[in-house]
Amino acid sequence: MSLVMVGERLPRHLRAAESGVLNKLLAVQFPGAQQLRQQVPQARVVGRWGSDSPSVDLEVMEPFPRAGIPDGVVPVTGAVKDSSGELDGELLLWVSDGTLSALEYSWYTDEAPVELPDPRGVTVAVQR
């Protein structure tokens, strides 16, 4: 489900925070990671998950290599911690038909995040 922020023109190019988080999540090795990394420059934001949500729907513009992985969440997560080291949330990357389809920021705190975290503060782990 995507909602468009008032005044935001979609589709649009990735913002620096979005491409930074995508590149951080895709820096590790897992099946399909190489093809998904090659899609990042071709990715566009086509929807938002809420007016204040940093989670976005993505579409990859042709040409691009498809990743041979199942639809759904890729096998990598990005743990987001606060300044005291407590887990605040996680970043999830979704694919559909071998292409990047969404970047989700789920949170564990009382207040929802309104922006993506600094990629330098994200700890990435491959799920086995």
The CA distance from 97 to 111, in Å, is 33
Which pLDDT value is given to residue 7? 61
Which residues, other chains included, contact 83 with Cβ-Cβ below 8 Å and sequence gap of 6+?
none
Which pLDDT value is given to residue 3? 42
Which pLDDT value is given to residue 8? 78
| 36-92 pLDDT per residue, tens | 999 999 999 999 999 899 999 999 999 989 999 999 999 999 999 988 889 999 999
Which pLDDT value is given to residue 125? 96
- Name the residue among 123, 54, 45 with its Cα closest to residue 82: 123
The CA distance from 42 to 44, in Å, is 7
The CA distance from 47 to 3, in Å, is 6
The CA distance from 103 to 112, in Å, is 15
